Structure 1
Amino acid sequence: MNQKHDKHALRVGIAGLGTVGKTVAKAIDAGIDGLELAAVSVRDASAAAAWLADLNCTPRIVSFDEMPLYADVVIECAPSQLLPKIAEPMLRAGKTVVPLSVGALLDHMDLVEIAREHGGQISVPTGALLGLDAVTAAAKGTIRSARMVTRKPVTGLLGAPFLEENNIRIDDIKTPMRIFAGTPRDAAKGFPANLNVSVALSLAGIGPDDTELEIWADPALTRNTHTIEIDSDSARFTMTIENIPSANPKTGLITALSVVALLEKMRAPLRVGT
């Protein structure tokens, strides 16, 4: 049975019920003032229906094209290649899209123009990163350099297209190994499930072609670690975050919590942060 609709609530849709999607769904279902879990889009409707049945209020299961009829904002938690199919109907309807596959945006920047034309918005969450407020502020002046170094446990990097294409084996490494040095634009293609954070950093700062990025596989690590170094005319800062992996080793636990925090801000009477 579908939940009772509060006409004043922000109706949230979730596209994809993987680790992040389920965490966000549970958080909204547990109760966030001003938010209502209204709809989900999934590949396997029967499996989703069985999982959703345990929630207090069951959202509709709809297609990507139907999502704008039931949701004001959709959280994209799906494989990156599906981002355009999820985002475009919402943006054309003047709605909001919160993408987790931020790297896919670089190949589909036409979505930004669609949002502009129809009054929609793409709202990129901080995700597994930190300090995007400071980077965004610094970018209002001049950022001279932006650098990010990511270090991950081996299990969080296995299967990345870049490793497969370049025949780089990390399964049995015993010491830290640098597996990539380049830009977020290149990393978005080579590590689509891992480096959305670097693209988010680049979009907040000086762009995906001028931001420097290194990726290390480290067999001694148990946490996904990102260090940002920014040098600008207003501030110089270095920040490091160590994220505990979720059930999906490629994604940190804080990613889903970041989405929940962003949703809360949309209807909060007090907003903290830029």
Structure 2
Amino acid sequence: MTDGSSIPLRVAIAGLGPIGTRVAKALDQGIDGLTLSAVSAANIEKHREWLGQLGQMPKTLPIEALADVADIVVECAPSRLVRSIVAPVVSRGKIALVLSVGALLENDDLIALAKDNRGQIVVPTGALIGLDAVTAAAAGTIHSVKMVTRKPLRGLAGAPYLVEHGIDIEGVVEPLKIFDGTARQAAKGFPANLNVAVALSLAGIGPDRTRVEIWADPTVTRNTHRIEVDSDSARFSMVIENIPSENPKTGLITALSVIACLRKLHAPLRIGT
């Protein structure tokens, strides 16, 4: 890591889908104290043209090598790759920004690895409103947390839970509840959809006590999440309607959340817990 002087922190990005691409371009345009050092993608060749148009061409490396040339690695990849991205980063005492937070439930030893090596796993707010409030409430006692998610049909297509249970949503014409369970179960059944539920659970009372409902809803065009929290310090509810990105499973605000998180690192005024 750098010593906090004028030397910029190097940022690498693992995955160049809609989120990774937007974050890379934002870094190239300039975020105080940071520089884009490297990127990784399954098919880097299809990204060569726009990468070549950046002010400074980043290195293109395998995901396992990103930690060698970066102080911060942003994970924007499929959840199955989280371990191979995060482990080399935190074992070197560096920072991993993780978006596929659901994968941490199956790789929770990465947290201990980060602790032992003075690394850090950072989960940006992403598509979920109010994580600061939940984190604050968790400093006291939270009695219950529930999230109700409504998504357009195409945003749920191919989810493992639907395949496993033979649930066909293609012809659904009115809202249909397709899941009711814990955040841990939701993350396993909907790995590309419910990272928000895991982030909520880790901020609050854990993945086995956080309740989740998922609705396939042909009447909505945005990914909608309603959160209800009851605690000894406050009772509150929040609703956010996220505009989908080029990937219908992911909200546009997710990329902006990563950018905001990176900007906070050297901001002279930092708002939020």
Interval containing the TM-score (normalised by the shorter chain): over 0.9
Conserved in 2, the CA contact under 8 Å of 1:12 and 1:75? yes
1:222 equivalent in alignment to 2:212: no
Partner residue in 2 for 1:52: 51
CA apart distance, 1:55: 1.3
CA apart distance, 1:266: 1.1
Partner residue in 1 for 2:29: 30
Partner residue in 1 for 2:115: 116
Conserved in 2, the CA contact under 8 Å of 1:40 and 1:59? yes
SS at match of 1:238: strand
Q: Residues 124-170 of structure 1: CA distance to partner in whole angstroms, max 9, x if unpaired?
A: 01100010000000000000000000000111001101001100011
Number of residue equivalences: 269
Partner residue in 1 for 2:265: 266
Q: Residues 81-124 of structure 1: CA distance to partner in whole angstroms, max 9, x if unpaired?
A: 00000000001110000111100000000000000000100000
Partner residue in 2 for 1:247: 246
Amino acid at match of 2:64: D
Structure-2 separation of matches of 1:125 and 1:184: 18
Partner residue in 1 for 2:142: 143
Structure-2 separation of matches of 1:86 and 1:52: 21
Amino acid at match of 2:35: E
Which structure 2 residue ranges, 5 or more long, are not aligned? none
Q: Percent identity among equivalent residues?
A: 61
CA apart distance, 1:68: 1.8
Structure-2 separation of matches of 1:168 and 1:193: 17
SS at match of 1:66: helix
Partner residue in 1 for 2:106: 107
Conserved in 1, the CA contact under 8 Å of 2:78 and 2:100? yes
Conserved in 2, the CA contact under 8 Å of 1:127 and 1:255? yes
Partner residue in 1 for 2:175: 176
**Map 1:146-161 → 2, pairs under 5 A:** 146-161=145-160
**Map 1:203-222 → 2, pairs under 5 A:** 203-222=202-221
TM-score when scaled to structure 2? 0.96
TM-score when scaled to structure 1? 0.96
1:190 equivalent in alignment to 2:205: no
CA apart distance, 1:203: 0.1
Amino acid at match of 2:95: T
Which structure 1 residue ranges, 5 or more long, are not aligned? 1-5
1:234 equivalent in alignment to 2:233: yes
Q: Residues 35-57 of structure 1: CA distance to partner in whole angstroms, max 9, x if unpaired?
A: 11111122223223333112111
1:202 equivalent in alignment to 2:190: no
Partner residue in 1 for 2:19: 20
Q: Residues 215-251 of structure 1: CA distance to partner in whole angstroms, max 9, x if unpaired?
A: 0010010000000000000000000000000110000
SS at match of 1:192: coil
Amino acid at match of 2:258: V
Structure-2 separation of matches of 1:266 and 1:57: 22
Conserved in 1, the CA contact under 8 Å of 2:153 and 2:218? yes
Conserved in 2, the CA contact under 8 Å of 1:10 and 1:267? no
Amino acid at match of 2:230: D
Partner residue in 2 for 1:3: none
CA apart distance, 1:7: 5.8
Structure-1 separation of matches of 2:41 and 2:124: 21
Structure-2 separation of matches of 1:228 and 1:44: 37
SS at match of 2:265: helix
Bigger drift between 39-48 and 109-118 goes to 39-48
Structure-2 separation of matches of 1:188 and 1:156: 15
Structure-2 separation of matches of 1:23 and 1:57: 15
> Deviating runs (4+, > 4 A) in structure 1?
none
Conserved in 2, the CA contact under 8 Å of 1:144 and 1:231? yes
Conserved in 2, the CA contact under 8 Å of 1:64 and 1:89? no
